[in-house]
Amino acid sequence: MEELRPEAFFELDGLECAALFQGLDRVWLALDRIKDYVTSEMKPNVADIRRHGETLRQNVVLWGETLLTEGFELKPGDAAKGLFEVWREGQRLEGASVLYAGASLMDDRIQIGPGVVVEPGALIKGPTIIGARTEVRQGAYIRGSCLVGRACIVGHVTEMKNAVMLDGAKAGHFAYLGDSILGRDVNLGAGTKLANLKIVPGPMRIRVGDRTLEADRRKFGAILGDGVETGCNSVTSPGTLMAPRCLVAPNMTVPAGYYKRRTIVRPG
């Protein structure tokens, strides 16, 4: 079924992690690859940062292979737009990443890209890759086996595990992303939950048109194609697949199954 291939959900040309989806005839099979892919592709660069404590006691700047703990000035701005600036001795440090005091790095299997900002209270476990100019906000919980692309937002009290956010995806406030993939420029409204646990044991059954397919997973959140948007306090049921440009109205519970491109899920 062509509509279930990864390329039907995501623009793969020019995508840095396109190999994650290579050769798959069902997009959800990528969920089984995330941990191995992240582990094989990552270039961990936080070992020196962690020497300053699992929970940082001071602001830290990572600039290439240089670690700074003092002598810099921070000029906060929108990290995803490249507007967060770090200065030292009158020079702007292009590509410098900032980890604020109070952020926690729980192991060394973490890659922090250039221009990343990790705010106080965020907690990151590995294996995890955080792409360039991504903002990990206060209280975010990244539980490992996570791939976060460029210019993403992992928001306040947002939790993710075994999940992928492609470039420009945003989960700004109070979201849960478990065993899920967000395409480019997906935007989750505040309080969106991508439920991932099938309560009754057995394979996940997914309705696609007049057919029912099985996914041999008990944990399966949502696959949201490029440009999907959800309204505040919406919930997707385990095993939800939304093709690009779908919209979900606020306060909706989305039944499991496949939704074709530009579907609008709303009351009535």
pTM value > 0.85: yes
Cis previous bond, 127, omega within 30: yes
Residues 30 and 47: their CA atoms lie apart, in Å, by 29
Using CB atoms within 10 Å of the CB of residue 250, give its burial: 0 to 12 exposed, 13 to 18 middle, 19+ buried: middle
**Nearest 10 degrees: Cα torsion 135, 144, 61, 77:** 0
- CA 240 to centroid of chain Cα atoms: 17
Residues 233 and 215: their CA atoms lie apart, in Å, by 27
Digit-coded pLDDT (tens) for 1-30: 799 999 999 999 999 999 999 999 999 999
Residues 39 and 24: their CA atoms lie apart, in Å, by 20
Digit-coded pLDDT (tens) for 125-150: 999 999 999 999 999 999 999 999 99
- pLDDT at site 96: 98
For range 192-220, the mean pLDDT? 89
- Told to judge if 52 belongs to the known catalytic residues of this protein, a careful annotator would answer no
CATH pick for 33-178 out of 1.10.1740, 2.160.10, 2.40.50, 3.10.450: 2.160.10
Query: What token pair was written down for 112?
Result: 């922090």
- pLDDT at site 198: 85
Question: Up-side HSE of residue 209: CA atoms within 13 Å toward CB?
Answer: 6
Residues 171 and 163: their CA atoms lie apart, in Å, by 12
Domain range list for the chain: 33-178
Residue 239 pLDDT greater than 90, yes or no: yes
For range 114-130, the mean pLDDT? 98
Task: Using pLDDT thresholds of 50, 70 and 90, give the confidence band for residue 210.
Answer: confident
SS (H, E, C) the chain: CHHHCHHHCCCCCCCCCHHHHCCCCCHHHHHHCHHHHHHHHCCCCCHHHHCCCCECCCCEEEECCEEECCCCEEECCCHHHCCCEEEECCEECCCCEEECCCCEECCCCEEECCCCEECCCCEECCCEEECCCCEECCCCEECCCEEECCCCEEEECCEEECEEECCCCEEEECCEEECCEECCCCEECCCCEECCECCCCCCEEEEECCEEEEECCCECCEEECCCCEECCCCEECCCEEECCCCEECCCCEECCEEECCCCEECCC
Digit-coded pLDDT (tens) for 38-71: 999 999 999 999 887 789 999 999 999 999 999 9
Select which of 26, 35, 88, 173 is catalytic.
173
Residues 83 and 105: their CA atoms lie apart, in Å, by 24
